[in-house]
Amino acid sequence: MGLITENNQQYYAGSQQFVSAAGTNQKFTTTFDTNLVFGSYDPLQVNYALNNFKLYTAPAGSLTYTEYVSPYTVTGNEIEIAANLVLNTNVVVQLKSTNGGNYGNKDAFGQAVENNYDSYSYIKLDELINNFQIAYVGTGKLIPSCKRTDIIFHAKRGLQEFSYDTLKSIKSQELTIPPGTQCSYTSGLCKLR
């Protein structure tokens, strides 16, 4: 909906942490704005390279994470681990990143985290249409009745009009500035003092 729905760990580090119960067939559902892409759990399989994440575990109380390469499945954004996990095992899903992530050997290299940046700045057309229908169409509202196809037509037509001038002018850059740093904006550049 145009807002950040992830916490800082999910958005900036591309990771989400879970604590297991004891037992087998445990399910962990990620809530990233990025969907999980799964090829294989086994690093020796060719399809493993299709994954946009790595899975790590650490025993309770330990900060030493190792990549989890035992069998697991992914359905949508839900990971199911078939093996028996010890109570309070830390399970981390690390999206692949240009810096390799923060867990295990820090080798989760890819673009999943960076591709997610700036996702809060835009709204999907389908979501815009749904919001319009909820807010303006119905009994006692501004528009008593309207076909969804009519709304879609006008939304797409509006995008065409924007594309002539406005949409071409989007230029953005997202920076993480360390705490305590002052920034002044001069001539289109941010200079750190």
Confidence of residue 146 (pLDDT cuts 50, 70, 90): very high
Using CA atoms, how far residue 39 sits from 88, 99, 145, in Å, is: 27, 22, 45
35-66 pLDDT, tens digit each:
999 999 999 999 999 999 999 999 998 989 99
* Tens-place pLDDT, residues 155-171: 999 888 877 776 666 56
Mean pLDDT, rounded, for 134-149: 93
pLDDT in the model for residue 116: 75
Q: Report the percentage of the chain scoring pLDDT > 90.
A: 49
Give the other-Cβ count within 10 Å of 96's Cβ: 21
Return all residues near 25 (Cβ < 8 A) that are at least 6 apart: 80, 81, 82
Is residue 191 predicted with pLDDT exceeding 70?
no
Contacts for 80-83: CB closer than 8 Å, 24+ residues apart: 80/25, 80/26, 80/27, 80/28, 81/20, 81/24, 81/25, 81/26, 81/28, 82/24, 82/25, 83/24
Model confidence over 88-113: pLDDT tens digits? 999 999 999 988 999 999 999 998 88
> What pLDDT digit, counting tens, does each position of 169-189 carry?
656 677 777 776 665 555 455
| Residue 29 exposed, middle or buried by CB count within 10 Å (0-12, 13-18, 19+) | middle
> Beta strand 78-81 with 26-29: parallel, antiparallel or unpaired?
antiparallel
